[in-house]
Structure 1
Amino acid sequence: MRNLELEYYQVLQQQNFDKSKLDYSIFEKYTPFLNKMAQVKNSAITVFDLHKKEHIFNSYNLKNLFGYNLDNIDTDYYNSKIHPEDFVSLLKIGISVLKNSYKLPIAERKNYKLQNEYRILNSENKYIRVIEQFQTLELDEKGNFWLALSTMDISPNQEEYNGIRSQWVNTKTGEINVDHFINNIGSKLSNRENQILFFVNKGLLSKEISEKLSISVHTVNTHRQNILKKLGANSSIEAIKFAKELNLV
């Protein structure tokens, strides 16, 4: 864990900011809009400053959604509420996405959104699933990622699921970069799931797969649901698409 945190902050440090050129009056103009957005969407809004390496804005309703004390919220406080296993995965995502983001042309750096679904501890000491979306709010004059906007909602999916779901989306084209479905890292498909995915890719129905493998249709469908979860997919078609990009089929 410690090594991952060090690597994450080392990657953050790769950007070279000129403090004298950072005009924080720009951010002040965003504040009324951010508060209004939190009110209309009932989403928790935060802004992370990649120069200061800290949150510089928390919407008023963060307390209502999670029961947090707004006076105590800082990066360490917030991170302490994330499920330890999910926090490790989120660090891996942060490292991977930052490295790839630095490679983007400056003109495209505002075109991407990172969406993570993970577990966080609420004021009742219970883990709930949340969906958090990150996108660039401001670049500095040199094109560095400066201010990052986070929009967080309680996930409608509160099923018992160990792990996270993550995707990196081009907001202009709608393209999803499957390399950043980090929920699949360290959570490879089992041999049986790989067999079923192979047959799904061939167009076989659950009944046909059950006959091929001499297992019940119910077992096939259970495996298919597990495949969707591990790949972060919403349908078999989407699962096959992701699996092909991950060289699983």
Structure 2
Amino acid sequence: MRISFIGAGRVAHHLAFALKQHHQIVQIYSRTWEKSQHLAELVAAQACPSLTDLSSEIDLLILTVSDQSIAAVIAEVAPLLPEVLIVHTSGSTDLQILQQQHSNSGVFYPLQTFSLEREVDWKQTPLFIEAANENHQKQLLDLAQQLSQRVYAYSSQQRLSLHLAAVFACNFANYCYDMSKQIVDQTQVDFSLLYPLILETAAKATQNDPKMMQTGPAVRGDVNILQMHQSILADLKRPDLAEVYTLMSQQIMQRHS
């Protein structure tokens, strides 16, 4: 396939690299010209100076832009590429946002967290596809199966629920790691001492029902420890962390009441 990208961020980098193994990456467009050039050089593509310069001689256009930009971008490019299949990679944007502007539309959503510093195991990364018609659905299915062993045809509503769950499992969980590091940094304790605990917690949550794996003072109803932790946070002058600690402890106690 001949594939172009709008967007040159983390998702575009990883996806373009992966697709380059089987297909030709034709053009890269980004609002930041330097980003377009950089990614284009890495995947042997052409940096596109403007949306009006996008080639129509492609099979697929992938939008790797922010959720709030998708509607505006599709409105601008749909008249330029009326025959091209255009997909977004968002977990929280309904397919209808594209369909309202472009009949040849779909979704190609990888459920993964992307960082430029880390490689992605595409074989184990779940990919979710959705399309406006059966032919495009099959086309996206074949494309996804070249990358991943875990490919699913999910509706926009199902994908949205997954994205919400991912925010809790990934973004919020990572912020908990950040908060724990803030605490030990204030007391000159090595954060790496928590690594085995973090890895074991993640392993248990992926191998068992997370509810059954819950431990700690809140699930035990240990009021003395809860109060002691609040006192420590007060001494550290961290009312922000104390507020989170109280809310999460209350939620755990209610869950296990």
Q: What TM-score, normalized to structure 1?
A: 0.31
Q: Whose strand fraction is larger, Structure 1's or Structure 2's?
A: 1
**Greater RCO between the two (CA within 8 Å, min separation 6)?**
1
Q: Whose helix fraction is larger, Structure 1's or Structure 2's?
A: 2
Bigger Rg over Cα? 2
